[in-house]
Structure 1
Amino acid sequence: MYGALTEEQWRQRFVARAPALAAVAPRLFAASPFVADAFARLFDDDSAEFDALMRSRADGELAVALLAACADDDEPALMRRLRRLRRAEMARIAVRDIAGIAELDETLGDLSALADACIEAALRNAGKRLRQRHGVPRDAAGDEVGPLVLGMGKLGGRELNFSSDIDLIFCHGDSGETCPEPGRGGDGARGLSNEEYFVRLAQDVQRLLASQTEDGFVFRVDLMLRPFGSAGTLSVSYAALEEYYQAHGREWERYALIKARPVAGDIDAGRVLLKVLRPFVYRRYLDYNAIGNLRNLKVLIAEDVARRGEEDNVKLGRGGIRELEFIVQSFQLVRGGAESALRDARLRPVLRYLGGAGHLDSAVARQLDTCYVFLRRLENAIQMYGDQQTHTLPVQDDARRALCAALGAADWTALSAQVEFVRGFVQQQFDAIFNERGAADADASSAERKLVRALWFAMSSGDTALADLRAAGFAQEPQKIVAALEDLRNARLVRAMPDGDVQKMIALLATLFEAAREQTRPETALCRTLRVVQAIAGRSTYLSLLHDNAEPRAQLVRLCAASPWLSALIAQSPVLLDALFDTRTLYALPGRDELRDELLQRLGELAPGDTEAGMDLLRRYQKEVTLRIAAADLSGALPLVQVSDRLTWLAESLVDAALARAWDEMRSSYGEPLRGDGERAGFAVVAYGKFGGIELGYGSDLDLVFLHDCDQLDADTVGGARAINNGVFYARLAQRLINWLATQTPAGRVYEIDMELRPNGKSGLLVSSLQSFAGYQRESAWTWEHQALTRARAVAGDPAIRDAFECVRREVLTRARDAGQLRADIADMRAKMRAELDRSTDALWDIKQGRGGLIDIEFITQYLVLRDAQRAPALVNYSDNWRQLDALAAAGSIDGEDRDALICCYRRYRAWAHERSLQEEQVRIAADQFADERRFVSGLFERLFAARLR
C-alpha cells in the first residue's frame, strides 16, 4: 500500500500536504485501509487539492465541475475519469466524517450528490453517442423526448451510505422514434423506436457506472425496482409507468416510491411524474392498512436475516436501520395523504415533524433521531473499512479496532454496549407501533367470545338468548341486542363478506360487548355501535384496527352511547373513525385561524380545478371537525359557549373556502366583472340567525345573504375564456357557492343553506348589490327584518364590501324609531310566530317557541337594541345575544339583575336544547320544568310589551 515508504513516513507525507489534519491522521488510517490506499494513489497526482478535505462542497458544485470536465470524453476516458473522481471524493467524504468535520447530513448528502453527478455525466455521455448513431428520439408531434432517471431508496432520500448500490428506475416521455439531428443531413443513422433507444441508453449508463475496470467501479446499479422487476423493460414511458402502478402496483412499491427523486435527465418532468403518482403512494385519507403490510414485510426480512445468520446486521437486524425507517414510513403511509410535511423523501426532517406534530412523543422522536445518526455512522464506518457493501458488525480484531477508531470509541466493549442500547431502543419503539397493539385488551374474555358466537350462529336463540344476555350484563332490554345482531347478520355488506372478515368482525363484537357493559345504558350503547359496525363491514381494515386498539374502540362506544346523532354521523361517514385513532387531534381542537389554515392547506394539495375532490374534502372536513368538537363536548372538556364558537368558526372557514373555489372556477371560465372605475367588482357573504349570532349547533343550517358592489350589471365580464353579463356572473357565482356547500354527494353535504332572509325573500334576487340592499333596509324592510339584522354579520368575501355592509347595518339599526310602533310590530310578530310554531301542550312545553322560552329572550333583546341604539350605538357592536345583553345593561336599557337572569335562562335553555339535539329528541320538556325561568322571562316580556299585549 505504501510502496517503498514506511507507514510512518507515509503519514508524515500526508500531514505535510494536509497539516490541519495532523491530529486526526492516526485515527483516519487506523479506521480505513481504503482511505489510506486512496490517498496513496492521490499522492501520484501533484495537483490533488488536499485543502479541499477541509471544506464542504456547495450545492451542485461537483456536478458542474464533472459535467464540464467530461463533456468531450470518449467512453474509456469517461469511465476512467468517473472512477478516479469517485475514489478521490469518497476519500474526502470519509476523512471529513471520521475526523468529525462533517455532520451526518453532510456525509450522506455528499455521497448522494456524487452519485447524482456521476449518473448525469454518464447519461449525457451515453445519450450523445446514441444520438450520433441513431438520431434524436421524438414523439408523434415531432417534439424531442428526453430521459429521466429516478433515484430510489437511500439515493432518492439523499441518504446514500458509503458503499451502496444505487437503485434506479429509467423512464422517458412519449412513444415515437428517433430522427437524424438537424444539420446532420440524414447521414444514414439507423432509426430506433423510442422504447429501443431508451433501453439502450439505460444499458449504457449501467455499464458506464458499474463495470469493473483497473480503476474499480463507480456505483453498483440495481434496476430491480422498475415495473415488473427483472421481467420488465429497462426504461418505461411516463404513461406506462402510471398505468403500471394503477393496475399492478404492489404494496411494497408504495414504500419504495416514498423515497423516489428525479436525479438525472429531465428533472422538471420527474417532479411532475411523481406528483401524478402521489395518489398511489399516499392515500387521500388515513391508511391503516399500511401498518399491517409493513409489519408483514418486516417479518419476512427478519426471517431472511435469521436464515442467513445475520443477526448482527445493523441495517436489517433487530433494532436496526430498517426498523427505524419502518417507524417513520408507517406514519408517512398512514397520514401522508393528509399531511404534506410527511411526503418528504428524507427521514430526519420527517422524524422531526413527527415529534413536533405530536404523532410521536417529542423525547422519543429526538432519541430516535440520535439512534439514526449513530446507526448510519456505524454503517458507514463498517463500509469505509474496505469499501465493501456490508452491514454486519465485524468479528475480526483488526476490523473491530478500525471501527472503534472511526467512531471514537474507547474499545470494542464500549462500542458494543452503545450498539446494544441503540438497537434495544429502536426495537422497543418499533414493537410499540407494529405489534398487535391493544392485544391484551382486545382479547375479550372467553365467556364474551362464546356468547357472541352463540348469538351469531343462532346456537343461542329465543328465551335462551335473552337469558344469556341478561346474565352477561344486558338485563334491561336484551331483545334490542338480539334484533340489532339480526339486522347486522342480514345486512348486504355482511352477507358479502369473506369468512376471514366475518371472523374478524365476530372477534370485534366480543370486545364491543365488553366495552358497552361499562356504559349506563349498555343495550343502547351496543345497538348504536353495531350500526357503525354494519357501515364498516366492507372495510376489514377498520374491523381489525378497532379490534386491536382498545382506546379508540372504547371512545367509539362512549360516543355512540352519548348520542344517536353522533353514531348516525359516524355510520354515514365511516372515514370519521380515523379521528378516533388520532388522539393527538381528537381533543386538541384548533382555534379560528388554525381551522382556516388547516382547511386551506388540505385544499391546496388538490389538483386545480378538481371540483369533485374539493367538494368531497369540504364535506369530510366538516364532519371530521364536528366529530372532534362533539367528542370534546361530551367529555365535558368544552363548555357550550365554546362549542358554538367552534362550530361557527368551522362554518366560517368552510364558507370562505367554498367561495374562493367558486370564484376561481367562475373566473377561469368567464373572467371577472369590473366596476365603472375599472377595479374588480367584489362579492361578500353575510350570515344571519344562529350563524350570524355565533350560536351554531350540531346540524344547524346557514342563513345567508349575498352582496356585490358592481355598478355595471349590464356590462360583460373581462379576462376569461368567454364573457357573460355581470349580473348573470353573480347569479351563477351564488348558485355555484350554494352547490359547493349544499349539494348532496356520496360524502353528504356541508350545510343546508337558507336564503329567505335576502331582500324580498323568495321573490328577491339571489345576489343583491350593496346599494340596493342598503336602499331596501332603509325604505322597505319590515321591523322583523331589522330584528334579523341585529344578528347579522359579514363572514366571507371582499373586505371592502364586508366593511360597507357593517356601515349599512350600523346606520339602519341606530336610526330613530317610534318606540310605540316598534313595540307593537315586535309583539305582533311574536304573537304570530307563537300561534304558528309553538308546539306546547298541557303536558309539554316548547322550550324554543313556548311562552317564556328562547325566542322570547331573543325578542326582548332585539326590541331593546332597536329601541335604544340611536342613543347608545355600542348596542349594535355585536351580533350575539349574550354580548348584546351585556351592552344593554351597560347602556342602562336593562338593569344588571335582569341582564344576569336573562343570560342565565338563555344559557340553561340552550344547554338543554343542545343536549336534546345530540339525542335527536324534540325540544319539548315536561310542562313543570324550568318553571322559575319561564316565569321570569314571561314576566319581563309582558312588562316590556304590556301596552300592546293589553
Structure 2
Amino acid sequence: MSAHLETYPEVLRPALKAALKSLADDDRLSWLDSMADVSHDDVVEAIARSDFLKNTMLRHPEAMARLASAQSLRAATTPEFLSSRWREYLADVKDEPGLHRGLRQFRMESQFRIIWRDAMRWSDLSETMAATSELADTCIQGALAWLYADACEQFGTPWGAHPVTSEPVPQPLLVIGMGKLGGRELNVSSDIDLIFAYPSKGETRGGRRALDSEQFFVRLGQRLIQSLDQITADGFVFRVDMRLRPYGQSGALAMSFSALETYYQDQGRDWERYAMVKARVVAGDQALGQVLMESLRPFVYRKYIDFSAFESLRNMKSMISREVRRKGLENNIKLSRGGIREIEFVVQAFQLIRGGRDRELQKRELLQVLTALEHMELLPTKVVQELRDAYVFLRNLEHALQGIDDQQTQLLPADARSQARVALIMNCVDWSACCAELDRHRARVAHHFADIIASDDEDDDASMLADGWKELWLGEMDESAAEAWLTHHGFEHPAASMKALTDLRSGRPVQTMQTQGRRRLNQIMPVLLEALTHVAQPSETLDRVLQLVEAVLRRTAYLVLLLENPGARTQLVRLCSESPWIARQLAETPLLLDELLNAESLYHPPAKSELQDDLRQQMLRISYEDLEEQMESLRHFKKAHILRVAASELRGTLPLMKVSDYLTWIAEVVLDHVVAVAFANLVSRYGYPTRKDGTVCDTDFAIVGYGKLGGIELGYTSDLDLVFIHNADPQLSTDGEKSIDNAVFYTRLGQRIVHILSTQTTAGQLYEVDMRLRPSGNSGLLVSTLLAFEKYQREDAWTWEHQALARARGVAGCRATIDAFEVLRHDLLCLPRDTKRLRNEVVEMREKMRASLGTPQSEGKSPETFHVKHDYGGIIDIEFMVQYLMLANAAQHAELTQWSDNIRQLEELGRVGVLPVADTEKLRDAYITLRSTIHRRALQNLNSQVEPDAFEAERRYIQTMWKRIMMDA
C-alpha cells in the first residue's frame, strides 16, 4: 500500500503512512477478508479522506467485524438493510443500558458504512441523505418501541379518546421529525429536531396507580431523548434538539393533538410555518400521524396565494445574515451568501405562497419540489438546473466537511490538511479548484435568490453627492476652504471637525487598511458628512459617529451596510445626534447597525411574547452546551432590543411607563432563557432533581426580582436585584448517573445563572447582579427553599427587608414556584404591624440612605446640585412613603399587595382610602416627572444630579407629604 502514497497530496502522506503502519502491525484489517470487493487500496483512499474512518478501524475492531459480517461496503445502504440490522442488535437488548449500548453500536456500524460510501463517492447524494435519515428513523422508532413497552409495564398503558372516532383506545407517542430529518435530507453528522405528540388526554390503566397521560409521555420523552442524546462509553446516537416544539424550551415536552392544533392556529409564527413544511412523523402510529398532519396542514398551506411569505422569508434571511456578520461565518456554506439556506428559501417561498392551491408543491424533499417548480413553469428550466446543481454540490461538500471527523460543521477548513482531504472527496484537482467551483455555484445561487426573494437594492445616492464632500474628506481642499465649506453647511465647530477628520484619515489604523477597505471608507465618508447636515449640532454628532467608524475599520462590511442603506445611514446620524449613549452602544457593538435597517421595527419595539419568539429563533441552533455562544447571543439580543427602546423613547413613540415596561420585559425574557440554559447544563451532568413521589422537577426554581426589576421600573443601565428560591426537597437527590443532593444542584444552578448574567465577555456584561437582598444577605445561602425563605421573613427579617418585599415579584422560572412565592409575599405583607414602630424604622433607614447617598451639605451653604433619587424631596422619599403605607395598611386592605410597582401601588392607596386620591395623583405625576428626567439623562450619559433649583414645586410637595405621613402622624 505504501507504494501508492506518492499519488496523494504531500500534506497527507505522513499521517497516512503512520495510520497504515498501525493497521498492519495490529492486524486491524482482517475484516477485509470477508469483503472480496473491497481492496487494500480502497482502505488507503478511505484513510486519506477521513479521520473518522481511520479511527474507527484502529479503535473499534469489534465494530469492523460486525460490519463485515453484515454486508459489503459496495452494496447500497437501504431501509430494508438498516431495519434488518437493527433487529439483530435488538435481539441482545435485555434492559435500558443494553438498549443504549445496542443503539450506539448500531449507529457506529451504520455511520461508518454511510460515511465510507459518501467519502469514496460510491454513493450519490440521494443515497447518502436517504440512508442517514433512515438510520435516524430506525433508531428513534427502535428506541421508542422498547421504551414504550417498558413504561407501560411500569406505569400501565395510557388510554384516551381516538382523535377521529372518540372511542377509548391505548395512546401511543408520536415523534415528529423536523428540518432535514423530516425532509429525508439529513446530514451525515447532524442533530435531529423533534416534537413529541400524543392523541388525547387521559390516564394510564393497568399500573399500580393511574398516571396522567401527559406525565406518562413527558417521562417517556425524557427517556427517549436520553437513549439517543446521552454520551456514554459507546458514544451517542444523535444530538436531539426539542426547541422547535410549541413555546420552545419552556413548553411541555409532549402535547396532545388538540393542544398542538390550537397552538399553531392561535400562536403559530411565520418561522414555524416554514419549519412545518418538512414535518414528518418519523416514529409511532403512522395512521394517527396522518390524522395529526392533516389537522396542521391549513396552518402551513394557506388556501389563498400568500405573497406575505416572501416578506417573512426575507426577514428570516436578514436575521441569518446578521448572524453571519456577527459570528464571521462568511465561510459557512449553509448560511452565507449563495449557500444552502438561500436555495431552501427559494424553494420554500413557492411552497408557502402557492402550496395551498397546488398540492404538487406539498412535498418535503427539496429536489422533488424543484422539479415540480420546473414542470409548473414557476421557474425557468435554466434556473432550476443551476439551483439543483448548486444544491447537489453544496450538500456533497457539506458531507465531505462533516465526514472527515464525524463533526457537525458547515465551515470551510482553514488548514491545508483538511483542505486537501475535501478536494479529494469532491474529486477536485486541488483546493483552489474546489473553491473556484464553489464560488461559481454560490454566485449563481445568490443571483437567483436576489431575483426571487431579496428586496430591491436601494438607489446608491453617493453619486449624487456634491463633489465638495469628497474633496473635503480626501484632503483636496486647503484648510481655509474646508472650514468655510463646513461653516456654510452648518457645522458649529468647523475647525475641530476638520481636525477630527484629518486625524482619522492620517492615523495609523486608516493608513494600514487593505485596498478594498480603504476604498469603502472613501466611499462612505463623504456620504456620512453630507448626512450630518440634516441634524442639529453636526460637529458634535460627527465626533460620536467617528467613534463607530474607527470601531469598524477592520470590519468594513459595516461601512458597506451604511453605504447601501440610506435609511440606516439616516437613522444612525439622527440617533447619534440625539444620544451619546446610543452612539457609544453602536461603537461598542457595531452589529447593532443591523437594527437600523428597518425604521418601523426600530421605533416600535416588540411586546413580550414577540421578544420571547425572537429570542427563541435566535437560539434555536445554539446548543445549550455551547455556553460561550449562548452568552454572546444573549448579550447581543439584549443590546439590540434596548437600542429599539431607547430609539423609541427619543422619537416619542414610547412614554416613560412603557419604556420601563419594555426594559423589564427584555430582562424577564433573558432571565427565563438563562434559567433554561443553566438548568439544562446541570441536568446533562447530574440528571433531574427528584420529588418524593418519584417524579422529576421541571426546574421547581424561580427568580424573584426586587427593586426596579420587581417594580417594573428598569432603566437603561439598571442592575438586577435578585433572590433565588426553589420548592424541591433538599434532602432528595438527582436521578442522573452522577447524582448529587437537590440542595447542591440548586446552589450550582444559582451560581451558573449568576455566571451567565455577570461574566464580562467580548460583548460586555449581560446584567450586573445584586444578590444582597436574599435571606441573611451576602452571608446567606445563594438559593433558599421556599420554606426557609418564609421562616427567615417571619422570624429574622428587618423592616427594610419587608419594605423591599413590597417591590418584589417572581420574574422567571417555574410558574408553580412563582405562584407559591406570590401567595407567601401577600401573607407576609398582610401581617399586622405596630405602625408607630414601623414608621420610626422606615424614617431611620431613609435618613441613613440620605446621609450616605445624597448630596453632601455644608452648614450655611446651599447644595450645589439636587440628586433626583436620593435628596430630600426626591424619588426615594415617594418610594419609602408608599412602602410604609402598604406595610401599615395591608392587614386591613389586602388588595394593596396585588401590585409591585409604585404607580399602581399609589393608585391602590387612593382607591382604598389610605390617601386622598388627589394626593396620590400628584405624587404619581411628580414620580413620573422625576423618573423621566433620569431616563433622559441616562441617554445623554449624564448622572442623576441636576441644578439645585430644579423641580422646586415637585420637591416642595413631596417634602410636605413626607412631613404629613412620616413625621406628623
Whether TM exceeds 0.5 here: the answer is yes
Matches for 1:338-357 after TM superposition, within 5 Å: 345=344, 347-350=346-349
Matches for 1:245-644 after TM superposition, within 5 Å: 264-268=130-134, 271-273=186-188, 275=190, 334-336=318-320, 345=344, 347-350=346-349, 377-378=376-377, 430=451, 437-440=458-461, 443-454=464-475, 460-461=478-479, 465-474=482-491, 476-486=492-502, 488-489=504-505, 493-583=509-599, 585-644=601-660
1:919 aligns with 2:940: yes
Q: Contact 1:519–1:561 at 8 Å: present in 2 too? A: yes
Q: Specify the structure having the higher radius of gyration (Cα).
A: 1
> CA separation of 1:782/1:520 partners in 2, compared to 1, >3 Å: closer, same or farther?
same
SS of aligned partner of 2:702? strand
CA shift for structure 1 position 588: 3.9
- Residues 181-233 of structure 1: per-residue CA shift (max 9 Å, x gap): 9999999x9x9xx7xx69999xxxxxxxxxxxxxxxxxxxxxxxxxxxxxxxx
CA shift for structure 1 position 563: 1.1
Candidates 732, 736, 740, aligned match of 1:724: 740
CA shift for structure 1 position 834: 1.0
Distance 1:521 1:556 in 2: 14
CA shift for structure 1 position 738: 0.8
CA shift for structure 1 position 659: 0.6
Q: Contact 1:741–1:749 at 8 Å: present in 2 too? A: yes
Q: Contact 1:328–1:350 at 8 Å: present in 2 too? A: no
> CA separation of 1:376/1:938 partners in 2, compared to 1, >3 Å: closer, same or farther?
farther
- Residues 645-672 of structure 1: per-residue CA shift (max 9 Å, x gap): 1111111010010011101111111223
CA shift for structure 1 position 822: 1.1
Aligned to 1:29: none
Q: Contact 1:684–1:801 at 8 Å: present in 2 too? A: yes
Q: Contact 1:793–1:806 at 8 Å: present in 2 too? A: yes
> CA separation of 1:924/1:172 partners in 2, compared to 1, >3 Å: closer, same or farther?
closer
Letter in 2 for 1:919: Q
Distance 2:557 2:67 in 1: 61
- Residues 865-898 of structure 1: per-residue CA shift (max 9 Å, x gap): 1111110000010000010011000110111110
- Residues 89-121 of structure 1: per-residue CA shift (max 9 Å, x gap): xxxxxxxxxxxxxxxxxxxxxxxxxxxxxxxxx
Aligned to 2:37: 134
Distance 1:478 1:885 in 2: 51
- Name which of structure 1's ranges 527-536 and 427-436 shifts more when overlaid on structure 2: 427-436
Q: Contact 2:706–2:807 at 8 Å: present in 1 too? A: yes
CA shift for structure 1 position 484: 3.3
SS of aligned partner of 1:777? helix
SS of aligned partner of 1:885? helix
1:903 aligns with 2:924: yes
SS of aligned partner of 1:624? helix
- Residues 34-81 of structure 1: per-residue CA shift (max 9 Å, x gap): xxxxxxxxxxxxxxxxxxxxxxxxxxxxxxxxxxxxxxxxxxxxxxxx
- Name which of structure 1's ranges 428-437 and 704-713 shifts more when overlaid on structure 2: 428-437
Q: Contact 1:536–1:574 at 8 Å: present in 2 too? A: yes
- Residues 884-913 of structure 1: per-residue CA shift (max 9 Å, x gap): 011000110111110110111111111111
Candidates 869, 873, 876, aligned match of 1:852: 873
> CA separation of 1:438/1:776 partners in 2, compared to 1, >3 Å: closer, same or farther?
same
Aligned to 1:945: 966
> CA separation of 1:857/1:483 partners in 2, compared to 1, >3 Å: closer, same or farther?
farther
Distance 2:310 2:900 in 1: 52
Distance 1:198 1:492 in 2: 62
Aligned to 1:688: 706
Aligned to 1:886: 907
> CA separation of 1:275/1:867 partners in 2, compared to 1, >3 Å: closer, same or farther?
same
> CA separation of 1:242/1:883 partners in 2, compared to 1, >3 Å: closer, same or farther?
farther
Q: Contact 2:322–2:594 at 8 Å: present in 1 too? A: no
Q: Contact 1:172–1:236 at 8 Å: present in 2 too? A: no
Aligned to 1:699: 717
SS of aligned partner of 2:724? strand
Q: Contact 1:851–1:934 at 8 Å: present in 2 too? A: yes
SS of aligned partner of 1:649? helix
CA shift for structure 1 position 930: 1.2
Aligned to 1:815: 831
SS of aligned partner of 1:795? strand
- Residues 821-854 of structure 1: per-residue CA shift (max 9 Å, x gap): 1111111111111111112663321111111111
Q: Number of aligned residue pairs: give it.
A: 632
Aligned to 2:442: none
Distance 2:119 2:572 in 1: 38
Distance 1:574 1:776 in 2: 47
> CA separation of 1:562/1:180 partners in 2, compared to 1, >3 Å: closer, same or farther?
closer
Distance 1:544 1:445 in 2: 20
Letter in 1 for 2:565: N
CA shift for structure 1 position 470: 2.1
> CA separation of 1:490/1:828 partners in 2, compared to 1, >3 Å: closer, same or farther?
farther
Aligned to 2:283: none
Aligned to 2:951: 930
Letter in 1 for 2:748: R
1:805 aligns with 2:821: yes
- Residues 385-432 of structure 1: per-residue CA shift (max 9 Å, x gap): xxxx9xxxxxxxxxxxxxxxxxxxxxxxxxxxxxxxxxxxx9999499
SS of aligned partner of 1:633? helix
Distance 1:696 1:522 in 2: 31
CA shift for structure 1 position 382: 8.8
Letter in 2 for 1:781: A
RMSD of Structure 2 on Structure 1 (CA): 4.6
CA shift for structure 1 position 605: 2.1
Aligned to 2:163: none
CA shift for structure 1 position 792: 0.1
Letter in 1 for 2:133: I
TM-score w.r.t. structure 2 length? 0.58
Q: Contact 2:864–2:948 at 8 Å: present in 1 too? A: yes
Q: Contact 2:77–2:127 at 8 Å: present in 1 too? A: no
Distance 2:353 2:768 in 1: 37
Letter in 2 for 1:899: T
> CA separation of 1:532/1:199 partners in 2, compared to 1, >3 Å: closer, same or farther?
farther
1:711 aligns with 2:614: no
Q: Contact 2:615–2:637 at 8 Å: present in 1 too? A: yes
- Residues 143-166 of structure 1: per-residue CA shift (max 9 Å, x gap): xx9xxxxxxxxxxxxxxxxxxxxx
Distance 1:831 1:655 in 2: 34
Q: Contact 1:171–1:237 at 8 Å: present in 2 too? A: no
Q: Contact 1:488–1:531 at 8 Å: present in 2 too? A: no
Matches for 1:705-854 after TM superposition, within 5 Å: 705-713=723-731, 715=732, 717-839=733-855, 842-854=863-875
Letter in 1 for 2:555: R
- Residues 741-776 of structure 1: per-residue CA shift (max 9 Å, x gap): 111111212111111111111111111121121111
Distance 2:354 2:495 in 1: 48
Distance 1:639 1:736 in 2: 36
Q: Contact 2:34–2:69 at 8 Å: present in 1 too? A: no
Aligned to 1:64: none
> CA separation of 1:134/1:382 partners in 2, compared to 1, >3 Å: closer, same or farther?
closer
Distance 2:449 2:618 in 1: 33
Long gaps (5+) in structure 2 = 1-32, 79-111, 136-184, 194-308, 324-334, 356-370, 383-387, 389-446, 857-861
- Name which of structure 1's ranges 345-354 and 866-875 shifts more when overlaid on structure 2: 345-354
Distance 2:687 2:785 in 1: 19
TM-score w.r.t. structure 1 length? 0.59
